[in-house]
Structure 1
């Protein structure tokens, strides 16, 4: 079962064998023996990839739960020795991962010498069970009801632009002004472009900018904004350091975006290994320690006064 689940997570039977200490020949023989014992084919194997059969998908889901039960039983009799050890696989968006999750993971690994940490950064939503992820950190709406979530910190999105861009194009003073600006749009594969939603006195107001620059990477959106190519709508956790350093300026802060949060997700509360449980607690402390300072970066700032209109010369 461990070999089968690992092969699905790694996408390779040979890689799964190496991780568990088997040669490719032994791994192949064990998988063949498992399928023969069950009387069904679990995996369609080719030289390039593995694909779960319908029976394999059903068996995989049960195997994940059964192996978690085994780990829980082991922890029950070694509770006093539960330490962060083994491989911890963490997933996070690129921006948030580079600035917050990655450094936290490195610090956590430094404190636990028997732990190996693998951090996967991607702006697409990763299936934790299929990818073999222990812990995922995400911003915004949560979609997978199979997962357990814990809120790490409050968040919000903010419109921001580089000082050089604002000096060239002016500050937007109302939502309607965004139509005259170069807006940088985030659009993930297979999804609509991210809408910009704000809280106004009349309720929620959504803007769907038609930007000339579109990216499926939040990190690239930020880089373009810092370089002065236009305005971005970014999580404050992604751009707080840029705002504090003066590389970006928060705009329209009197019209806050719809509130959101940073969450950590994991497959099961009951069967969480010590390494994941301890890392979740470590992340919660790290985000709580910085939450006030990060949110303060989005406080309202006065725009420069509008340039006075030049008086038209009177005809002679």
Structure 2
């Protein structure tokens, strides 16, 4: 039967992306770590990790075993805590992924509160506008705009979300605001794309006619970034129109640093959702954190 120490090594290897790094954190030399991982795979009769000179990746069997190991180790940690302190408080490391802007404005503060309320938990927050693989990255959950297309993931909606086009008042000081989506072609636009192509398709339909067909406008950005926060900063500096999730610009729209244009037109709705790998094998720390996220977003007025 596999030993808990070997399970911990396996989980830590996936979380850090390196057998050597996992060994250092757990007090194993690389040679001992390699032998322990080989012993674990031999005991299970299957390969858990594909190894190359550059990276480690989970096999299909490894992904299933990783999910189960996370839950088992979390239960063990909580059982040990119950004996030591008479408490069943969550333990371990909570690893969360989030888009940059949403993470800084909303998810980071929730994680700070969770850490204060649960001293037995360490929190790791990864901010990236790219969609990460939860299992390969060793994350407990991820907050996303628009949810997940991966059928392996459980999805829980946190809040509705719409995209708005906005700019700093200074940008519109000597320009006529766009009245229709077609007018965007005469304006400087700030585009956020992962491949820095400079082009993006923005879709709209009239607020007064939500059942009407979408109007698609090809945007050619003068300012292009692969990071939403940079695009946000450029808009605040008066460099053009930007399309952002309402949750990313809510504060600035409220205090006047940004103003919405095309208010009679609505963009596509992309709800804010939290995704995770299993409802059945969810560690207590992850379940409680997700519940806190839900309550925090529910307490906000709908934008």
TM-score range, shorter chain: 0.7 to 0.9
RMSD over equivalenced CA pairs, Å: 2.7
- SS of 1:195's equivalent in the other structure is strand
Map residues 57-72 of structure 1 onto 2, 5 A cutoff: 57-68=59-70, 70=72
Q: Deviations over 1:13-49 (max 9, x none)?
A: 1211233343434213313444566486944354xx3
Asked if residue 50 in structure 1 is aligned to residue 55 in structure 2, the reply is yes
Distance 2:20 2:168 in 1: 49
User: What's the TM-score once normalised by structure 1's chain length?
Assistant: 0.82
Once the two structures are TM-superposed, the CA of residue 144 in structure 1 deviates from its matched residue by 1.4
User: What's the TM-score once normalised by structure 2's chain length?
Assistant: 0.85
- SS of 1:155's equivalent in the other structure is coil
Asked if residue 20 in structure 1 is aligned to residue 15 in structure 2, the reply is no
- SS of 1:170's equivalent in the other structure is coil
Asked if residue 268 in structure 1 is aligned to residue 274 in structure 2, the reply is no
39 and 246 in structure 1: CA distance in 2 versus 1, 3 angstrom threshold = closer
Contact 1:154 1:291 (8 Å CA) reproduced: no
Map residues 115-264 of structure 1 onto 2, 5 A cutoff: 115-189=121-195, 194-200=200-206, 201=209, 202-264=212-274
Q: Which residue of 2 aligns with 1:298?
A: none
Gaps of 5+ in 1: 296-316
Distance 2:116 2:278 in 1: 26
Aligned residues: 288
291 and 92 in structure 1: CA distance in 2 versus 1, 3 angstrom threshold = farther
After TM superposition, the runs of 4+ consecutive aligned structure 1 residues lying more than 6 A away are: 75-80
Once the two structures are TM-superposed, the CA of residue 244 in structure 1 deviates from its matched residue by 1.3
Contact 2:203 2:215 (8 Å CA) reproduced: yes
Distance 1:8 1:62 in 2: 12
129 and 236 in structure 1: CA distance in 2 versus 1, 3 angstrom threshold = same
142 and 77 in structure 1: CA distance in 2 versus 1, 3 angstrom threshold = same
- SS of 2:234's equivalent in the other structure is helix
Distance 1:103 1:57 in 2: 35
- SS of 1:160's equivalent in the other structure is strand
Q: Which residue of 1 aligns with 2:292?
A: 282
Q: Which residue of 1 aligns with 2:4?
A: none
192 and 141 in structure 1: CA distance in 2 versus 1, 3 angstrom threshold = farther
Q: Which residue of 2 aligns with 1:304?
A: none
Q: Which residue of 1 aligns with 2:105?
A: 99
Contact 1:153 1:291 (8 Å CA) reproduced: no
- SS of 2:113's equivalent in the other structure is helix
Contact 2:156 2:275 (8 Å CA) reproduced: yes
Looking at CA atoms only, which structure, 1 or 2, has the larger radius of gyration?
1
Contact 2:147 2:273 (8 Å CA) reproduced: no
